[in-house]
């Protein structure tokens, strides 16, 4: 009885190892096919893949934060306003009737 159970356990282990190997190889094949598809699409359209541009933007932002350029950049992002650009205003409540009449509905 022990001999039969040992053979059964060994066969079951081999089947499970084979199933795991087939699963792992299928995942690798799908990953490789996906990479090939993305690269072919990039070659045909002439546009970089999205993950490439995302990592390039991340690296650019990382370099700007490392150098300390984030506060003085012009264009997008964080720009420190000049002292003469700051305007103090007096806050007041806007009534709903006046607010509806102030802006035309058809822009």
Q: What is the distance between the alpha carbons of residues 79 and 86, in angstroms, rounded to a whole number? A: 13
**Contact present, 70 and 78 (Cβ < 8 Å):** yes
CB neighbours of 38 closer than 8 A, spacing ≥ 6? Answer: 49
Q: Which two tokens stand for residue 13?
A: 């282990």
Q: pLDDT per residue over 19-39, tens digit each?
A: 999 999 999 999 999 999 999
DSSP state of 9: H
Per-residue pLDDT at 56 exceeds 70? yes
Q: pLDDT per residue over 68-97, tens digit each?
A: 655 555 555 555 656 677 778 888 888 876
pTM greater than the 0.75 cutoff = no
User: At 36, phi and psi to the nearest 5?
Assistant: -60, -40
Question: What is residue 66's predicted lDDT score, i.e. its pLDDT?
Answer: 76
Give the DSSP per-residue string, 47-83. ---HHHHHHHHHHHHHHHHHHTGGGT--SSS--PPPG
Per-residue pLDDT at 16 exceeds 60? yes
The pLDDT mean for the chain works out to: 81
Helix or strand (DSSP H, E) at 11: helix 2-45
Q: Mean pLDDT, to the nearest integer, of 33-50?
A: 92
Per-residue pLDDT at 6 exceeds 50? yes
């Amino acid at each position: 009885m022990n001999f039969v159970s040992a053979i059964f356990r060994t066969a079951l282990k081999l089947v499970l190892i084979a199933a795991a190997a087939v699963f792992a190889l299928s995942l690798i094949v799908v990953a490789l096919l996906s990479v090939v598809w993305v690269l072919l699409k990039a070659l045909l359209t002439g546009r970089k893949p999205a993950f490439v541009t995302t990592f390039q933007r991340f690296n650019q932002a990382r370099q700007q934060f490392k150098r300390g350029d984030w506060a003085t950049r012009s264009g997008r992002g964080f720009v420190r306003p000049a002292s003469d650009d700051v305007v103090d205003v007096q806050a007041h409540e806007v009534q709903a009737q006046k607010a509806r009449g102030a802006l035309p509905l058809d822009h």
